[in-house]
Amino acid sequence: MSDTIGGAVRLTIFGESHGPAIGAVLEGITPGTPVDETAVAAAMERRRAKGALSTARHEADRVRFVSGVYRGRATGTAIAFFIENTNAKSSDYDKTAALLRPGHADYTALARYEGFADPHGGGHFSGRLTAPLVAAGAICDAMLAGAGITVATRLARCAGIPDAGTFDFEDPAALRGQLAALKTAPFPVLDGAGGRAMAEAIAAAAAEGDSVGGILETVVLGMPAGVGEPFFDSVESVLSHLLFSIPGVKGVEFGDGFALAGMKGSAANDSFRMAGDRVVTATNRNGGINGGITNGMPIVFRTAVKPTPSIYKQQDTVDIAARRNAALAIHGRHDPCIAHRARAVQDALTALALADLMAQRYGPRWTEANAWNSV
Ligand X SMILES: Cc1cc2nc3c(=O)[nH]c(=O)nc-3n(C[C@H](O)[C@H](O)[C@H](O)COP(=O)(O)O)c2cc1C
- In terms of CB distance, is 46 or 361 closer to ligand X? 46
By CB under 6 A, what part of segment 87-106 binds ligand X? 104-105
State the minimum distance, in angstroms, from the CB of residue 314 to ligand X: 16
State the minimum distance, in angstroms, from the CB of residue 1 to ligand X: 14
* Cα–Cα distance for residue pair 176/355, rounded to 1 Å: 19
By CB under 6 A, what part of segment 247-266 binds ligand X? 247-248
* Cα–Cα distance for residue pair 100/247, rounded to 1 Å: 17
By CB under 6 A, what part of segment 342-371 binds ligand X? 342, 345
Residue 241: CB atoms within 10 Å = 15
Contacting residues for 33 by C-beta, under 8 A, at least 6 apart: 73, 74, 139, 142, 143, 367
State the minimum distance, in angstroms, from the CB of residue 91 to ligand X: 17
State the minimum distance, in angstroms, from the CB of residue 273 to ligand X: 40
- In terms of CB distance, is 149 or 344 closer to ligand X? 344
- In terms of CB distance, is 340 or 361 closer to ligand X? 340
Number of residues that bind ligand X (CB under 6 A): 21
Q: Residue 79 in contact with residue 29, Cβ under 8 Å?
A: yes
The 24-63 site mask, x for binding ligand X (CB under 6 A), equals: -------------------------------x--------
Q: Residue 127 in contact with residue 334, Cβ under 8 Å?
A: no
State the minimum distance, in angstroms, from the CB of residue 47 to ligand X: 6
- Find, among 3, 27, 6, the residue nearest to 15 by Cα: 3
* Cα–Cα distance for residue pair 80/69, rounded to 1 Å: 9
Residue of the chain from 220, 246, 328, 355 that contacts ligand X (CB under 6 A): 246
State the minimum distance, in angstroms, from the CB of residue 165 to ligand X: 23
* Cα–Cα distance for residue pair 12/49, rounded to 1 Å: 24
State the minimum distance, in angstroms, from the CB of residue 105 to ligand X: 5
C-alpha count within 13 angstroms, C-beta hemisphere, residue 31 = 3
By CB under 6 A, what part of segment 297-336 binds ligand X? 306, 308-310, 334-335
Residue number of the CB closest to ligand X reads: 127
Alpha helices in 222-365, H assignment, sequence order: 235-243, 265-268, 339-362
- In terms of CB distance, is 122 or 222 closer to ligand X? 122
By CB under 6 A, what part of segment 119-138 binds ligand X? 122, 125-127, 130
DSSP state at residue 91? H
By CB under 6 A, what part of segment 152-191 binds ligand X? none
- In terms of CB distance, is 126 or 350 closer to ligand X? 126
Residue of the chain from 124, 302, 341, 343 that contacts ligand X (CB under 6 A): 341
State the minimum distance, in angstroms, from the CB of residue 300 to ligand X: 21
| C-alpha Rg value of the chain to the nearest Å | 21
Q: Is the dihedral of CA 241, 247, 251, 252 positive or negative?
A: negative
Alpha helices in the chain, H assignment, sequence order: 37-47, 91-94, 106-113, 130-146, 172-184, 192-207, 235-243, 265-268, 339-362
- In terms of CB distance, is 235 or 337 closer to ligand X? 337
Residues near ligand X (CB under 6 A): 55, 104-105, 122, 125-127, 130, 246-248, 306, 308-310, 334-335, 338, 341-342, 345
